[in-house]
Structure 1
Amino acid sequence: MAVGTVVSRATGLIRQVLQAAALGTGLLASTYNTANTVPTSLYTLLIGGALNAVLVPQLVRARATQPDGGRAYEQRLVTLVVCVLAAGTALAVWAAPQIVGVYMRDTPDGHQAFELTVTFARFLLPQIFFYGLFGIYGQVLNAREKFGAMMWTPVLNNVVLVAMFAAYLGLMTVPGQVADVTADEVRLLGIGTTAGIAVQALALIPFARAAGFRFRPRFDWRGTGLGGSVHAAKWTLLFVLANQVALAVVTNYANAADQELPEAGAGYSAYTYAQTIWMLPQSIVTVSLVTALLPRMSRAVAEGRIPDLRADLSRGLRISGAVIVPAAFLFVALGPQIASLLFAHGAADAASVRPLGYMLQAFGLGLIPFSAQYLLLRGFYAFEDTRTPFFMAAWTAGVNIALATACHLLLPPRWAVVGMAGAYTLSCLAGLTLTAYLLRRKLGGRLDEGGVRRTYVKLLCAAGPAAALGWAAARTCTALGSGTWQTAAALTAGALTTVLGYLVLARLMKVAELRRLPGTR
């Protein structure tokens, strides 16, 4: 799973670099990125949150307890999901202007950017259906403990998008501002982006068939156990809604910064690119662990083996932390160099990607609580408790909104979104604090907190000094020049120094979790 995720994220990074070269990091890029955020957000609101958090335990229980191994339940569930997605997608395309208005203000000065975003959204909103199809087939496979296909098929989407942006750069005149975008460019970007998601989704169908799932539409939903799934999904929907409200507020504020400074690279696109890079370690390590652990934890709860659940959560925290903690410090130390090397090409230059590097630094340490909370929440989902995570999400989103609003009102546009990245870090810490407290009460005992705490203290003591050495090494190389090769040399020197320093210090501190990672002893 981790290998598939690494390849997926690597091709996704190539796609994002090409995208920045084609569209830059300013207002023009934000019209496309905002429109591309809308279908993901609506899919998550419609059914994505329930698919990811609720339905695996439900499917595992159905396969274990029903005489037919849960086949009829699966078919009814897939039929229900497909119907909801089809209706929701059609409604979203019809209401595109109103939906975009939630994420971007239609001001007299920014009206042209708003209209372009709406046009992009009409092409991109059909992704909702294909995201859902990918999600439900992926969960059917996960319930059968077939994890590989869901990790590898996103590579197909990235290949399509890499080809699309390469064609865009090779065949089109790269526009300098919103007014320069042509109808042909909009069609290429819109159709190509949606086609990538469609390929990703449809590629899962043969794998599901090979795993024994045959889709037969079934509309006999009453009295078949779907009520429990719908009831559980109610709280998950509210959980997702809280997160999406925070996302909408931050997106709106960040787009306002872009409208104030359309070519500064200090708004939503820079925030999106920085957050995507920042989430790479969590996507590779924590998500892979959680995907494998959730069915196992669900079975432990179903069989009353609560100590096994506590052990799995503790082990997951310690193993993921061995990668997440140094990665967080690496972003703090080398954020500007990472941003410059990846994005200062084509339509973006070194000056316009500098705010992106600062945002990456501001996100940095937030990776630790973000990853830990993501894992701990699965402890509640193993109990099929979706009510408690909603209140935690509301708390985290409230902190994020309050801090982001303060940044929007008090900081100048060039620094407001950097402040919002820091606000997100603080909200993750607030969320983790509450999550850990409530989960301990739920489990009726400690989550091996002494062992987890000792491990993280060692990891912090190893990663912090190593990152400081890496920063110094990169700073020394940067003094030699500011070109692409000099930046690459500085980043390489800084990263190698950080990694080697971390490994040496972690081994001196006897961090046992390093031996649990691939390629280590």
Structure 2
Amino acid sequence: MDAEGDGSRTAARDFETLRIRRVPGSAAGVNSVVTEAVPAPGGSSGAGGSPGLMKSSAVMAAGTLVSRLTGFLRTLVMGAALGVGTLNDTYQVANTLPTMIYVLVGGGALNAVFVPQLVRSMKEDSDGGAAYANRLITLVVTFLGSATLICVVAAPEFIRVMSPSMATHPDQMRVAVAFARYCLPTMFFMGIHVVMGQILNARGRFGAMMWTPVLNNILIIASFGSFAWVFGTASRSGISASTITPQGTRLLGVGTLLGLAVQALAMVPYLRDSGFRIRLRFDWRGHGLGKALGLAKWTFLFVLVNQAGMVVVTRLATAAGAAAEKSGHPGTGITAYNYALLLWQMPQAIITVSVMTAVLPRIARAAADGDHGAVRDDISQGLRTSAVAIVPCAFAFLALGVPLIQLLYAGAGEEGARNIGFVLMAFALGLIPYSVQYVLLRGFYAYEDTRTPFFNTLVVALVNAAGSFTAYLLLPARWAVTGMALTYGLAYVICVGVAWKRLRDRLGGDLDGRRVVRTYARLVGAALPASLAAGSVAAWLMAAVQAPAVAALTALAAGATVLIALFLLLARVLRISEVDAMVNMVRTRLGR
């Protein structure tokens, strides 16, 4: 049998990795759900597994897909209600603030540090980790509650830091501060949602954290839809920062806050169903939280550098967008950057995050046991499995970015939508190193190494900030944000090179590099000609069809069909075993 045939069988087994089982859990007698690695039929534990990972990943991917789709609908309604110019920029800056502050003051530590600690407490503590989890919840409620109050009072100062150009316009400043004071309390509910979700993840319950954001999106869609119904859409009413009423600002702000509150509180029934009961516990000393907080110091620096880079981008993008809008080019500010970024990150969130969230507890256990081979195999599997979708999606954004955005944001105006499409095209290929970096960093976190990710992010932030500043200085205002999007992907190319070398050294000089590189090279070999053909078809149809919306829909449908068909054909010719395994899995689930 040739090597490729053996690789195909191994790739097929790579989709079978975890089994969910119930074991005696807490002292109260309830069962805890945990995950364990088991051999696939005819395989070893190291190479194979069970359908559990794919099942867990499928549940999360479905929830994330619905969440992202409703998230896109949310941005469509936002674009119709506020447009894609400076008024929407004020909301984007205000709504970005709570996320940035939350991640800075604790969100990064919750995501990266406390999952391995929760897994260890479930394994080692007599109560299945219940007390540790309750102490963590209490810590988050106390700390984030205090931080939220301080931030609401300091809202004007935050707006001045985020966008000095916005602060020089009284109407924009007034609206931005009003939005910020409604949006900032959402950081408290973000923390509650995340800590509850991580407790469920550590117990093998992966779906709730991916599905509850749908409730948030629905409520925000309702609030912005109500705004458009009462006050009119931006294209018809010409609403701006100087004409929006306090009642309109309040409607949007309350809707944003209510969405996050409902998203967080919806986690409580899932926790109760898992057998976990929330009880506030303030006995923090001597129970492992200090160790986790010690590890979190590097995560804090990690997110500090990351958020500092985003502040630079926000300041530059809002200034460039305001200048470009005066010249008749809307959709070239921070709103364009955020909307394109949201769409660009969708494959990452649906595929890579779902796969690695299911694998992370197992990687943490393997790292704790000193099984470097198992960690290497899981990292390799995560890279290759996610690449099957990530690589063609990156090339699809490059080939079909403009018709895709023009179809989605038709209500925001043809010129603004086209400009957002150019930003998406600039982001496109950076999706590949962005996804690779996410997988590699899970390996460091499994070893409780938060220092290395900090230095990697420092590289990304410095390169991104320098590239964004260069784009702002050298490019015309309407193209500045497009240049910033391009440098974002280039920064991750450098980051991947650094992270790969360090993780390889950590695992003893072996990261399955030859197999991973071969898979990515063949996927690019299939996606590149497919995207060229799809882009040519789409460009011809965009020029041939006069009606903009019809042209965008026709070009997107025809281009996507060509891209998918040609990619699968070339993948078969190039004998990409991971694609064959994915296609066979889909056909099996469809009953063929």
Which residue in 2 is equivalent to 1:499? Answer: 564
Contact 2:159–2:167, Cα closer than 8 Å, also in 1: no
Q: How many angstroms does 1:55 deviate by?
A: 0.5
Contact 1:319–1:513, Cα closer than 8 Å, also in 2: yes
Contact 2:119–2:361, Cα closer than 8 Å, also in 1: yes
> 1:32-68 CA deviation, whole Å, 9 max, x = no partner?
0110000011111111101111100000001111122
Q: How many angstroms does 1:430 deviate by?
A: 1.0
Which residue in 2 is equivalent to 1:353? Answer: 417
Contact 1:514–1:520, Cα closer than 8 Å, also in 2: no
Which residue in 2 is equivalent to 1:283? Answer: 349
Which residue in 1 is equivalent to 2:461? Answer: 397
Which residue in 2 is equivalent to 1:42? Answer: 101
CA distance in 1, matches of 2:539, 2:468: 31
Which residue in 1 is equivalent to 2:390? Answer: 324
Whether 1:469 aligns to 2:533 is: yes
Q: How many angstroms does 1:399 deviate by?
A: 0.6
Helix, strand or coil at the partner of 1:180: coil
TM-score (norm 2): 0.86
CA distance in 1, matches of 2:118, 2:406: 45
CA distance in 2, matches of 1:375, 1:181: 44
Whether 1:274 aligns to 2:340 is: yes
Quick one: which amino acid aligns to residue 216 of structure 2? N
Which residue in 2 is equivalent to 1:245? Answer: 308
CA distance in 2, matches of 1:84, 1:108: 29
More moved, 295-304 vs 511-520: 511-520
Call closer, same or farther: CA 1:405–1:106 in 2, change over 3 Å. closer
Quick one: which amino acid aligns to residue 176 of structure 2? T
CA distance in 2, matches of 1:265, 1:257: 11
CA distance in 1, matches of 2:166, 2:380: 50
Call closer, same or farther: CA 1:129–1:108 in 2, change over 3 Å. closer
What is the number of residues matched between the two proteins?
A: 519
Contact 1:267–1:417, Cα closer than 8 Å, also in 2: yes
Q: How many angstroms does 1:114 deviate by?
A: 2.1
CA distance in 2, matches of 1:106, 1:484: 34
Which residue in 2 is equivalent to 1:146? Answer: 205
CA distance in 1, matches of 2:303, 2:442: 15
CA distance in 1, matches of 2:120, 2:243: 55
Helix, strand or coil at the partner of 2:242: helix
Which residue in 2 is equivalent to 1:519? Answer: 586
Quick one: which amino acid aligns to residue 567 of structure 2? Y
CA distance in 2, matches of 1:446, 1:23: 52
Quick one: which amino acid aligns to residue 377 of structure 1? L
CA distance in 2, matches of 1:432, 1:110: 41
After TM superposition, the structure 1 = structure 2 runs for residues 218-229 of structure 1, keeping only pairs within 5 Å, are: 218-229=281-292
| Structure 1 spans left out of the alignment, 5+ residues | none
Which residue in 1 is equivalent to 2:222? Answer: 163
Whether 1:178 aligns to 2:237 is: no
Helix, strand or coil at the partner of 1:224: coil
Contact 1:319–1:516, Cα closer than 8 Å, also in 2: no
CA distance in 1, matches of 2:248, 2:574: 55
After TM superposition, the structure 1 = structure 2 runs for residues 445-484 of structure 1, keeping only pairs within 5 Å, are: 445-482=509-546, 483-484=548-549
Quick one: which amino acid aligns to residue 369 of structure 2? E
Whether 1:337 aligns to 2:428 is: no
Q: How many angstroms does 1:261 deviate by?
A: 2.8
Quick one: which amino acid aligns to residue 373 of structure 1? Q
TM-score (norm 1): 0.98
Quick one: which amino acid aligns to residue 568 of structure 2? L
Whether 1:427 aligns to 2:491 is: yes
CA distance in 2, matches of 1:219, 1:85: 15
After TM superposition, the structure 1 = structure 2 runs for residues 95-174 of structure 1, keeping only pairs within 5 Å, are: 95-106=154-165, 110-174=169-233
1:68 to 109, 124, 127: 127
Call closer, same or farther: CA 1:273–1:214 in 2, change over 3 Å. same
> 1:495-516 CA deviation, whole Å, 9 max, x = no partner?
1111111111011111111234
Whether 1:303 aligns to 2:369 is: yes
CA distance in 2, matches of 1:50, 1:174: 40
Whether 1:413 aligns to 2:477 is: yes
Call closer, same or farther: CA 1:326–1:23 in 2, change over 3 Å. same
- What is the RMSD of the two structures over their aligned residues, measured on CA atoms? 1.2
Which residue in 2 is equivalent to 1:385? Answer: 449
Quick one: which amino acid aligns to residue 503 of structure 2? L
Q: How many angstroms does 1:298 deviate by?
A: 0.3
CA distance in 1, matches of 2:501, 2:377: 17
Contact 1:106–1:114, Cα closer than 8 Å, also in 2: no
> 1:396-435 CA deviation, whole Å, 9 max, x = no partner?
1111111111111121211111100011011111111111
1:313 to 363, 372, 379: 379
Contact 2:160–2:166, Cα closer than 8 Å, also in 1: no
CA distance in 1, matches of 2:370, 2:168: 61
The structure 1 segments of at least 4 consecutive aligned residues displaced by more than 3 Å after TM superposition are: 106-109
CA distance in 2, matches of 1:261, 1:117: 20
Contact 2:71–2:217, Cα closer than 8 Å, also in 1: yes
Helix, strand or coil at the partner of 1:191: helix
More moved, 42-51 vs 509-518: 509-518
Pair member with larger Rg: 2
Which residue in 1 is equivalent to 2:293? Answer: 230
CA distance in 1, matches of 2:299, 2:318: 28
Q: How many angstroms does 1:192 deviate by?
A: 0.2
Helix, strand or coil at the partner of 2:544: coil
